[in-house]
Structure 1
Amino acid sequence: MDTKNEEMEIDSKEDEFLTHVETEFIGREFDMQAIAKAWKYHRILGLFGLRSVGKSRLVHVFLSRYITDVTLLDIDLKQFGNISALYSYFCIQLGTRVVYDAHKSDWWIQHIVKELIHKNDKDFVIVFDNTEDFQEVKGTTARDLFLSLSWNIIKRCNNVKVIITSTTSVKFVAKTFFSYTLEPLTFTDSCHLLRSVAPDINFGEYEDAIVTLSDGLPLLILMIGSELKNNDEMTPCHMVQCLQTSRLKTLSDTLYPKEDRIADVYKSFIDRLALKYKEHLTVLDYIPGSFSVDECREIIDVETTEAMVKFKTIKPLLDRHVLDRDSATKRLNIQGILRECLKSYYTVKDLPKVRARYSKIFTAVMVRISSRLYTPEYTKAVAELTIEYPNLQKLLTDVEYTTQDTYHFFIKVATDCTGLVDNFMAGEGEVFYQGCMKIADMYGKEIDRANVHIAVGSFYTNVKGPRTGKQCHLEQGADNYDAALNVLEKYGKSLQLATANQRKGWNLLMQGKNLAATVFLKNAFDLSNSSGTDFQSIVLQSLNSLGITNTVLGRFDEAEKYHFEALRRRKQIQGETHPFVGACLNNIGIMYYQKGDWHKALEFYEAGLDIKRKNQTPAWSLVNSLSNTANMYSETGESAKAMQLLNEALELLNKEKLPPKESFALIYDTIGKVYRRDENLTSAEDMFQKAINIRGEISMENVTYLESLVHLADIHKRQKHYISCIKVSNKALQIKETAEKAMPQNPFVKECFECLAEVYNLSGSNDKYIETLEKLQSELIRLERVHLDHGNDRDLLKVRKEMQSVTETIQRVSYETKSR
């Protein structure tokens, strides 16, 4: 037979191997009715029983039959090794950023609860499936945190109902909680299910014995039927003998006498697999989450077509119910009980080679996702990331097993996937990068170490620095960039050298060291400008950053040159309507706004916003444009237009899978400013407080947190609530030194002293008034030094004028006080 024709025939029937008929749902009508009745009166339902008794299937069938118009979060806790992984996954599902180190306290629970409260326009059903590990195996801390999460959700989120399935019962308040024990299938239903699985088998006198020995466990019945159907040598008589000598062990095995523990049943089923299937299964178990057919082919190292793998490996495992297949995603998984059996009784043959293949497979997956994450394919990339998340977590943790043959995979992840790691896997990022640094020292060349230094620098610059608000982390980022530059500069022009210069420039920009930033950004531009297409992204990022830096410095002619060159190149490379062109237009609008040309600012804001709306622009980018344009409308007296855009931004964020929390805070702060301009002080107060709450959750040391506190203090001053104003101002000044280190040029400390001084003046507290003016004077002197260092002539002139005015005021008030 012609091999090529045979493969073509198989390919033409690609989905036929997966016409794996879903077993009919048998019985459970009484259980279904009991749960449906309880659903009307209870917020949290617990479904408990033996492992593999059918709890998960019953929940899914119940929801599909009875529950509509809800957002389902189906969370299988078996795939999470710890609270950090559960928290990260929850953030992905709810569309919020993972907050670094949040899992180290119970703060993460409040984070999840608040995100659910924010989404009160939706009704949620959260299914916590297979929760027994978090109740018993992972320790009391994990148990208490999980139960606290469940209780806080149903206590505070009126739009959420929770279903828990477990082998171990839990208790909540009776009025809210409905506990239901799912018993094994009745004898009649077990017979019905067995016959439906193996309709052509003549069970004869052995049917009753087989059904009795199955203990009414649906999964065991399915496996018995499949084995009888697919194994000609296994007769009903032999099956009875097998079941009598070994039965499957469940997670709740301590509830049974030793002779009734049924773990050996699953082991015997695995043992009866052909040797190659058994070996394949143990290798597949190395993948912690679900996997595609192609990933299956690569991990078992079969040199054949995907179609042949489907028919020669996957179909037999599916037929014997040792693999599950998700009909929606077409991904495969090993049933949880089998995974435990495999880990207990079997070892992976040639584990180092399996780890090497794993590293190769999921490095490619991670690079593929990363390359699309900040493109118009963002939504698809995030969807794939959600599915592959546990597998990528394992990839990062496997860095500890790196050998000389595999280290280059991890160096590639560190080099090409920093954005993905920094933004979505920050909990694993620091340990991963430490591991990369170690293996680079052991196996790599100094170029490899330089690439890792760039990745570590990005982690400290874009993750730890912004999230902690600590200047030391930005400085650590800069130190890592310097270490990379010291190596790369010896080798001459390269993409890595351009990248290190660009990222060092961005780091310095974040530190407020704008003059120094321009040096590195120009280096990056010069290295990239005449190079190939690989350098184009560095060219564009450098031009954008140079435009931003010069805008901050007040060098508007320079800023205009860089921004418009970036715009020209983006249009040439990416097309007239690419969303990044919209971002460039928005930056030009910011430049004109800072310059005081409001007409042009609004023109570019609107042009950028129009492009972003027409494309699959990431939410944070579109929200920034909506905020800027709304602020401009408000400045020009068009508050109604401003509010329309800001409401659009909130609606967008609520729909987004991964909305940055800071984006919500930005919009609330902007709404507050619109209300303030309209003298709607009560509403402004509410909005600024919302911004403070969110920014405080991110970090109480961030400059944006200080900014919103100062805005709120100003509102209290306008309301003549002087005591409240003083209280909020003092709270803001508690992070004065931190804010000045994080952003030396920030004007918010100055504005805070100005607000306090005005309050003390209005309330007649002359001593406090003079004391605050003197503190304001000191702050202006500090800003003068900063602007001198940064070469910011525009703001330097403003500060000096203010210094003169404050000095004259101090002299006048002091003279008047002495004259009394």
Structure 2
Amino acid sequence: TIDPDVCTKSKIPFADVSQVSFFEGQEAEILFTTHTIFRIDKIQQIHDDHTDRLWEVHLTLVGNDNHELNTLTAHVREEVNLKAPIRGWPQLAFILLKVGEPAKAEKLYKILLQKASSDKERSDYNHKLGWAYDDMGEYSKALSSYEQSLEIRKIALPPNHPDLASSYNGIGWVYDNMGEYSKALSSYERSLEIRKIALPPNHPDLAVSYNGIGVVYDEMGEYSKALSSYEQSLEIQKIALPPNHPDLAASYNGIGAVYYNMGEYSKALSSYEQSLEIRKIALPPNHPDLAASYNNIGIVYRNMGKYSKALSSYERSLEIRKIALPPNHPDLAASYNNIGVVYDKMGEYSKALSSYEQSLEIRKITLPPNHPDLAASYNNIGMVYDEMGEYSKALTSYERALDIRRIALPPNHPDLASSYNNIGSVYDDIGEYSKALSYYEKAQEIFQKSLPSNHPHISHVKRNIDNVKKKM
């Protein structure tokens, strides 16, 4: 599908050949000159009773004089030549990683690894395999591949070589996804330390390290440190990268996550939308990072009480993830979880419970037993049971969430406070007011240490304490 209004504004030569087509009058055909460039806006399957191979592709004509596109294209070519200097299969495999096709990249890298003839090739292909496995949600395989690459590089390279920093960064990313935040932070900091010595001060890889550190601090509940790291990353990227580079989108996305966690939803939404706009331009329409943007925008809308917008964003995210990811990928679990939250808020408890249980089943398969996301699933299932008046089931789920969070999170993490608050709520509902007060006060103590004074969670738990005291 090509919008003719856009064609008429373009400098690219084209001709309407519908009247001379073999199917005269039945097809609206337009013939474009060679080297015409289109941006793929959307791909959707055409439902047909006879085949599942029909697709409709929505294209936007892009002129060759588009400065931002030309700059981004030149940078991508330069990056591909730098990160995958061997032409042919190695470059194709790297491009597949960059466009969000890790399963295809993995197949190529496994073949390349078997044929590798030097330590450099073996270390590079193991590193890229680690990247592919991480994107596929296969974290133990990812860690193994990254560590094999690191061992080769430690022997073959000087101690401050940039490739060592890349290895530590990749290992940090895997530990982060596994919920082992202290190990992730340690790896990211080793990567940053090497890059500060080996690279110019505005090198894009320094921004990658700051971004990773920001992610970990955000997940550990240290929001001011997270915001500082993301902003350092963004400042470097603004200097070093084209304005529509996907790494800029990652920084805006991270900044949005921090603002969201601090309860500043309008700032979060603005940052997430900046990230989405870049990703729409720079990435294929079914890239997992686009799904992440829609997911995050949905989270903000949910917390602003705009449930229909939230559900729409979550469903767009899930649609992309079903196409782009393996069936048990943790990000699919996140989508089902978030859809469950919206149904919960809308009072559709059976739909919410079904979505939460889909999420939990995936997380049980793919994540370590004490991963924070498992705690989130048990917590959310507990909330549904609580709202349905099934208090014993609610308490069991909440306590499982709390047990995991005590192991996985720092002692003043806001999610621990949420668990204490929720357990207090159940005791409040069943009339055990002294127990309720004890849990509410634990929640209040952590919230006051970890969140801004105007955060809605603080006022909410204060109301709970006031109400339970009146009942006593």
TM-score, normalisation: structure 1: 0.41
For residue 93 of structure 2, what is the aligned residue in structure 1?
Answer: 369
Residues 95-129 of structure 1: CA distance to partner in whole angstroms, max 9, x if unpaired?
Answer: xxxxxxxxxxxxxxxxxxxxxxxxxxxxxxxxxxx
For residue 185 of structure 2, what is the aligned residue in structure 1?
Answer: 475
| Matching of residue 554 in structure 1 with residue 223 in structure 2 | no
- One-letter amino acid of the structure 2 residue matched with residue 409 of structure 1: E
Whole-Å separation in 1 of the counterparts to 2:286 and 2:351? 37
- Deviation, structure 1 residue 761: 3.7
3-state DSSP of counterpart to 2:257: helix
Whole-Å separation in 1 of the counterparts to 2:357 and 2:288? 32
- Deviation, structure 1 residue 472: 3.2
| Matching of residue 782 in structure 1 with residue 446 in structure 2 | yes
Q: Within 5 Å, which residues of 2 pair with 1:170-189?
A: none
Whole-Å separation in 1 of the counterparts to 2:172 and 2:297? 30
Q: Within 5 Å, which residues of 2 pair with 1:228-627?
A: 365-375=89-99, 378=101, 382-383=103-104, 385-386=106-107, 388=108, 390-392=110-112, 394=114, 406-410=118-122, 412-413=124-125, 419-423=131-135, 426-448=139-161, 450-461=162-173, 463-467=174-178, 469-488=179-198, 491-531=200-240, 533=242, 536-556=245-265, 558-559=267-268, 562-563=271-272, 565-566=274-275, 569=278, 574=282, 586=294, 589-590=297-298, 593=301, 596=304, 598=306, 602=309, 624-626=314-316
Q: Within 5 Å, which residues of 2 pair with 1:712-751?
A: 712-741=381-410, 744-746=413-415, 749-751=416-418
For residue 59 of structure 2, what is the aligned residue in structure 1?
Answer: none
- Deviation, structure 1 residue 457: 2.8
3-state DSSP of counterpart to 2:176: helix
- Deviation, structure 1 residue 527: 1.9
- One-letter amino acid of the structure 1 residue matched with residue 176 of structure 2: G
- Deviation, structure 1 residue 739: 4.3
- Deviation, structure 1 residue 504: 2.6
- Deviation, structure 1 residue 575: 8.8
- One-letter amino acid of the structure 1 residue matched with residue 459 of structure 2: K
Residues 481-515 of structure 1: CA distance to partner in whole angstroms, max 9, x if unpaired?
Answer: 343344246x4332332332233323333333332
Task: Pick one of 360, 366, 388 that aligns with 1:692.
Answer: 360
Q: Can you give the 5+ residue segments of structure 2 that lack an aligned partner in the other structure?
A: 1-83
- One-letter amino acid of the structure 2 residue matched with residue 694 of structure 1: I
- Deviation, structure 1 residue 705: 1.6
Residues 517-558 of structure 1: CA distance to partner in whole angstroms, max 9, x if unpaired?
Answer: 222222222222233559934333223322332333334565
Report if the CA contact (8 A) 1:710-1:728 is conserved.
yes
Going from structure 1 to structure 2, the CA distance change for 1:803 and 1:742 (only over 3 Å counts) comes to: closer
Report if the CA contact (8 A) 1:525-1:542 is conserved.
yes
Q: Can you give the 5+ residue segments of structure 1 that lack an aligned partner in the other structure?
A: 1-359, 610-623, 628-645
3-state DSSP of counterpart to 2:410: helix
Whole-Å separation in 2 of the counterparts to 1:669 and 1:361? 41
- Deviation, structure 1 residue 775: 2.2
| Matching of residue 773 in structure 1 with residue 437 in structure 2 | yes
- Deviation, structure 1 residue 470: 2.9
- Deviation, structure 1 residue 443: 3.2
- One-letter amino acid of the structure 2 residue matched with residue 554 of structure 1: G
Amino-acid identity (%): 13
Q: Within 5 Å, which residues of 2 pair with 1:60-139?
A: none
Aligned length: 387
Whole-Å separation in 1 of the counterparts to 2:86 and 2:326? 23
- Deviation, structure 1 residue 363: 9.6
Report if the CA contact (8 A) 2:382-2:397 is conserved.
yes
Task: Pick one of 757, 774, 780 that aligns with 2:424.
Answer: 757
For residue 5 of structure 1, what is the aligned residue in structure 2?
Answer: none
Report if the CA contact (8 A) 1:470-1:701 is conserved.
no
Residues 456-486 of structure 1: CA distance to partner in whole angstroms, max 9, x if unpaired?
Answer: 333233x23333x333332333333343344
- Deviation, structure 1 residue 785: 0.9
- Deviation, structure 1 residue 695: 2.0
Whole-Å separation in 1 of the counterparts to 2:132 and 2:87? 12
Whole-Å separation in 2 of the counterparts to 1:703 and 1:732? 8
Whole-Å separation in 2 of the counterparts to 1:369 and 1:689? 36
Residues 132-162 of structure 1: CA distance to partner in whole angstroms, max 9, x if unpaired?
Answer: xxxxxxxxxxxxxxxxxxxxxxxxxxxxxxx
Whole-Å separation in 2 of the counterparts to 1:415 and 1:495? 19
- The range that moved more, 666-675 or 500-509, is 666-675
Whole-Å separation in 2 of the counterparts to 1:591 and 1:523? 25
- One-letter amino acid of the structure 1 residue matched with residue 330 of structure 2: E
Going from structure 1 to structure 2, the CA distance change for 1:442 and 1:371 (only over 3 Å counts) comes to: same
- Deviation, structure 1 residue 735: 1.5
Query: What is the alpha-carbon root mean square deviation over aligned residues?
Result: 4.2
- Deviation, structure 1 residue 413: 4.3
Residues 359-382 of structure 1: CA distance to partner in whole angstroms, max 9, x if unpaired?
Answer: x99996345313223427x3xx63
* Structure having the higher Rg: 1
Report if the CA contact (8 A) 1:478-1:507 is conserved.
no
3-state DSSP of counterpart to 2:409: helix
- One-letter amino acid of the structure 2 residue matched with residue 445 of structure 1: P
Whole-Å separation in 2 of the counterparts to 1:587 and 1:667? 7
Report if the CA contact (8 A) 2:207-2:232 is conserved.
yes
Going from structure 1 to structure 2, the CA distance change for 1:537 and 1:361 (only over 3 Å counts) comes to: closer
Going from structure 1 to structure 2, the CA distance change for 1:734 and 1:793 (only over 3 Å counts) comes to: same
Whole-Å separation in 1 of the counterparts to 2:293 and 2:154? 44
Whole-Å separation in 2 of the counterparts to 1:426 and 1:568? 30
Going from structure 1 to structure 2, the CA distance change for 1:383 and 1:474 (only over 3 Å counts) comes to: closer
- One-letter amino acid of the structure 1 residue matched with residue 337 of structure 2: D
Whole-Å separation in 1 of the counterparts to 2:279 and 2:145? 34
For residue 703 of structure 1, what is the aligned residue in structure 2?
Answer: 372
Whole-Å separation in 1 of the counterparts to 2:140 and 2:300? 39
Going from structure 1 to structure 2, the CA distance change for 1:547 and 1:812 (only over 3 Å counts) comes to: closer
Whole-Å separation in 2 of the counterparts to 1:678 and 1:553? 24
Report if the CA contact (8 A) 1:460-1:476 is conserved.
yes
Report if the CA contact (8 A) 2:130-2:146 is conserved.
no
